[in-house]
Structure 1
């Protein structure tokens, strides 16, 4: 009799929960199949968008885990497990983790925005957060710059994405803004010719856009000329320094004085 009782209970259990278990197994199999299709479509979309490889991997893993958690909750609900409290626990844990990692999540969001909208790319010369340098690496949480003095600067992506970014490489050309002063006794036309000759004779100075030389100011002790050569991004500093040196040599050769401060001493008896 006792054996028959347990057999009856077993049959009742199978009758009651058997269909639920079978349904849960089917949902798990079909759910995993759907997840694979969705991940395949997401991967194809990310590849078409030419996003950063690290961003693609992170987003695909994130989507995969979210879908798996949803699938597990659905399966548990199918077999009769109360999922309301389970979902509440997950939501509370997510909130706690979000508050604890608020700064990191901000940097992550900034990294995602940078990789999606691409205000700069690796190799670009940018100025941001008070730093000037070539972009060395773009990561999920930080961006690394290599400064002209060969220092590595690591900037959090949260601050970077929310601040002003000056990208010197986008247009492929940069204007070098220089100012030179000459004596009031100098001939303006001759000075402009000497300065322009310096620019046109330097192979690193671009001729399109054309360089320009114009009087910019009648200062206290000098006539100042705005000298504006154009260069490629890579040759910017070469043009900057070479133009200073060549202008000094050319003005000296032409007998054009570059004024400098004078002091007068007055002695009283």
Structure 2
């Protein structure tokens, strides 16, 4: 009985000491919360001001979004260190702990760190930006929707969203079809030996000259590029504004088919009838 009473008294003493310490720490806890709240407000407003200033200067929206988030996180971490200092934790100890945690996380997340570093490289050197139409390893194509810290998202022509690790984009080839204002549309049209190749070349040239998307200020090429056992290959090259490439391609291909049918020019049956090179 005495032992039980003694345990109860000890527990009561522990609770009383805890309450006394809590009363002593309450002002510090309250101050730490205020510091954190003020830090959050400052970080948020700084982030918004940074975005507005950079947008007025015409900075790329992807770069602005990325670095504004980094700035926000850095300010928050700074105020967290100050708030913990008010609670009695030494800032040097806190930095040491953060450093140790950082090393451990770095070893565990090497691939993610590689993606993060690659994201910074992409934003700095800008091989592509939001809105560009690109092709990546494996022949995957799509319009860049967003560049995040870890991955880049693409919207495909059939409206699927693909998330590609940034490290893949910096370690393999990327074809940017939107980089230049103009593209060269290269069409290879295969016809039979029995068909009139001179007439076919004349038709293709006239189609390209009449196409509203083709820049007639630039030379149009239309010549025989190959003679093999299956067919005669006629190659044509014309300059197109990058934004008009697909409408031009669809219009020219339909016109070639329509005109060849009218003039009894036969397509060869080996491989592809007509192909377009993504130049």
Q: TM-score, normalised by structure 2?
A: 0.65
Q: 1:180 aligns with which of 178, 182, 189?
A: 189
Q: 1:226 aligns with which of 235, 238, 243?
A: 235
Q: How does 1:63-82 map to 2 (within 5 A)?
A: 63-64=74-75
Structure 1, residues 86-134: CA drift from partner, whole Å, max 9, x if none?
6544332220121223222222222222122211111111111332011
1:129 aligns with 2:140: no
Structure 1, residues 180-239: CA drift from partner, whole Å, max 9, x if none?
122324444332211101111111223243332111100213211012233233332332
Map of 2:258 onto structure 1: 249
Map of 2:180 onto structure 1: 171
1:195 aligns with 2:204: yes
Partners of 1:84 and 1:122 lie apart in 2 by 41
* DSSP-derived class of the 2:157 partner: coil
Is residue 183–residue 258 contact of structure 1 (8 Å, CA) maintained in 2? Answer: yes
1:107 aligns with 2:89: no
| Cα 1:210/1:150, change in 2 over 3 Å | farther
| Cα 1:49/1:239, change in 2 over 3 Å | closer
Map of 1:212 onto structure 2: 221
Map of 1:95 onto structure 2: 103
Partners of 1:153 and 1:220 lie apart in 2 by 42
* DSSP-derived class of the 1:181 partner: strand
| Cα 1:245/1:72, change in 2 over 3 Å | same
Structure 1, residues 52-87: CA drift from partner, whole Å, max 9, x if none?
2222223323544676689899x99xxxx9887665
Is residue 111–residue 141 contact of structure 1 (8 Å, CA) maintained in 2? Answer: yes
Unaligned runs of 5+ in 1: 1-31, 262-269
Map of 1:7 onto structure 2: none
Q: Which moved more, 1:61-70 or 1:122-131?
A: 61-70
Partners of 1:181 and 1:91 lie apart in 2 by 65
| Cα 1:191/1:55, change in 2 over 3 Å | same
Partners of 2:64 and 2:80 lie apart in 1 by 25
| Cα 1:116/1:62, change in 2 over 3 Å | farther
* DSSP-derived class of the 2:159 partner: coil
Backbone CA RMSD of aligned residues: 3.4
Q: TM-score, normalised by structure 1?
A: 0.67
* DSSP-derived class of the 2:246 partner: helix
Unaligned runs of 5+ in 2: 1-38, 271-279
Partners of 2:93 and 2:157 lie apart in 1 by 56
| Cα 1:96/1:205, change in 2 over 3 Å | same
| Cα 1:60/1:83, change in 2 over 3 Å | closer
